Amino acid sequence: MAAKTDGCFLRVTEDTRETKPISFGRYKFALETVRKKLNAGDYACDLIFPINRNKEELVIRSKIIYERKSKNDLWSTFGSTGERLETFKNEVNRSIADGNTLIVIVECEPNDIIKGHFYTKEGVGLVKALVQGPSMMRKLETIRNKYNLCFVYKHGRLNMQRYMYERWLGECREMKRKFKDGLIDREGNPVE
């Protein structure tokens, strides 16, 4: 079991459709990772902390969920007006309906996007994507504004996992404090 220095633990839920999972096993407060179909996003998290000396624990589902996008995913989802874009919009709407904050975490920096994207097409070789880099950035801004989304850009998978882990751990510590101060109930809802 992980070291228990501040009493906060994370149980990460990874969507079963996630094709390139991120491992959180290297972090001492990541208790486990479970594969399960999520209603929206690729990663969700249960925040776990003790609430009394009898080692009773409180488990609250974080309202922050992450949709991971590689550079290829970015272009195949947002570089078209087809089915993948509609699927993403539906996912955003499900997230909102569930009361969650969907953060799109992108596995590259904005400068990498501005440079454009190339992909391999069978029988042709390397092909430049139809949507150019600056156009993609404008499209992402439009989607961000329309759906009130947050896009986070991190170079490399280690930076992505570190960002997600630290954000959830910080939320866990804040929930633990709020519960101790009587500001939230056992479900994480504000106390009137």
Q: In the chain, which residue ranges form alpha helices assigned H by DSSP?
A: 71-78, 83-97, 110-114, 133-147, 157-180
Nearest CA-CA partner of 45 in 62, 27, 23: 62
Report the distance separating Cα 27 and Cα 186, nearest Å.
Answer: 26
pLDDT at 41: 94
pLDDT at 81: 66
Question: What's the Cα-to-Cα distance from 121 to each of 57, 84, 115, 128, rounded to whole Å?
Answer: 52, 19, 19, 10
Look over the chain and give the mean of its residue pLDDT values, rounded to a whole number.
86
Contact present, 50 and 56 (Cβ < 8 Å): yes
User: In the chain, helix, strand, coil percent, each to 5?
Assistant: 35, 25, 40
The arithmetic mean of pLDDT across residues 81-96, rounded, is: 88
Question: What's the Cα-to-Cα distance from 61 to each of 7, 9, 47, rounded to whole Å?
Answer: 16, 12, 6
The arithmetic mean of pLDDT across residues 39-47, rounded, is: 94
Cβ–Cβ contacts within 10 Å for residue 103, how many?
Answer: 20
pLDDT at 4: 42
Question: What does the pLDDT look like over 49-79, one tens digit per residue?
Answer: 888 777 788 899 999 999 999 988 888 888 8
Going by pLDDT thresholds of 50, 70 and 90, the confidence category of residue 154 is very high
CATH number attached to the domain at 9-180: 3.40.50.10130
Q: Which two tokens stand for residue 109?
A: 């920096």
pLDDT at 3: 36
Report the distance separating Cα 189 and Cα 89, nearest Å.
Answer: 27
Q: How many helices (H) and strands (E) does the chain have?
A: 5, 9
